[in-house]
Chains A and B, each alone.
Chain A
Amino acid sequence: DAKTTQPNSMESNEEEPVHLPCNHSTISGTDYIHWYRQLPSQGPEYVIHGLTSNVNNRMASLAIAEDRKSSTLILHRATLRDAAVYYCILNYGGSQGNLIFGKGTKLSVKP
């Protein structure tokens, strides 16, 4: 299975943009890129997903490199509520479409 690599942690200031990187150099042509996040003491939350083109939704933007070997989740204005662990995954990983998380990036947001 294709693997992803993310930094262990990042810091941001409130109301500034945050760019969370993910490397997936062994991605195949049919692999979708998915992002989830998990706030403390809560269940995971779907953020965004895409295949080739950049994607935007009300939560975030996903920028996908032209060769698809990397992607960046963009939070346009970080809030304290965005402090969470962010997971970048390809095609969920499990044989039954179940999620398999790596270590993710722990994002801290400073007031």
Chain B
Amino acid sequence: DVKVTQSSRYLVKRTGEKVFLECVQDMDHENMFWYRQDPGLGLRLIYFSYDVKMKEKGDIPEGYSVSREKKERFSLILESASTNQTSMYLCASSESGTRQPQHFGDGTRLSIL
């Protein structure tokens, strides 16, 4: 089975801190995604990567950056955390193409105080 592992289930940080969320997948997938999920707003794509060192902005990239130095690892960085970035963050991976099933981690519930 595909395994997508997110580094933390729960995280509490302070306003202005630089925050790193890590995601690792073990199925050699080309595509990796970072979403955030908020009540009433559904899933929103932050960034997408289709290969090592390649990244594409999603629908809400402001305040975030990403890094993909190795195929299995996709990191999300909050440059200067703000309270409106309190959310559930979900990482997913899939094989190349736009119709492949996406496999998700368990999510990181991030609170910014």
- Residues on A lying within 8 angstroms of B by beta carbon are 32, 34, 41-46, 49, 91-92, 94, 96-102
Q: A60–B5 Cα gap in the complex (Å)?
A: 25
B105 touches A97 (CB 8 A): no
A96 touches B105 (CB 8 A): no
Chain B interface mostly helix, strand, loop or mixed?
A: strand
A92 touches B90 (CB 8 A): no
Chain A interface mostly helix, strand, loop or mixed?
A: loop
Known: A96-B56, A98-B35, A99-B43. 7 other contacts (CB 8 A): A43-B105, A44-B102, A45-B104, A49-B99, A97-B100, A98-B58, A102-B42
Given contacts A34-B101, A49-B101, A92-B98, contact A101 B48 (CB under 8 A): no
Residues 64-98 (chain B) with a chain A CB within 8 angstroms: 90, 92, 94, 97-98
Interface residues contributed by chain B, number (CB under 8 Å): 25
- Residues on B lying within 8 angstroms of A by beta carbon are 4, 31, 33, 35, 42-43, 45, 48, 56, 58-59, 90, 92, 94, 97-107
Least CB distance from B32 to A in Å reads: 11
Q: A32–B101 Cα gap in the complex (Å)?
A: 11
B42 touches A101 (CB 8 A): yes
Q: A44–B56 Cα gap in the complex (Å)?
A: 22
Least CB distance from A89 to B in Å reads: 10
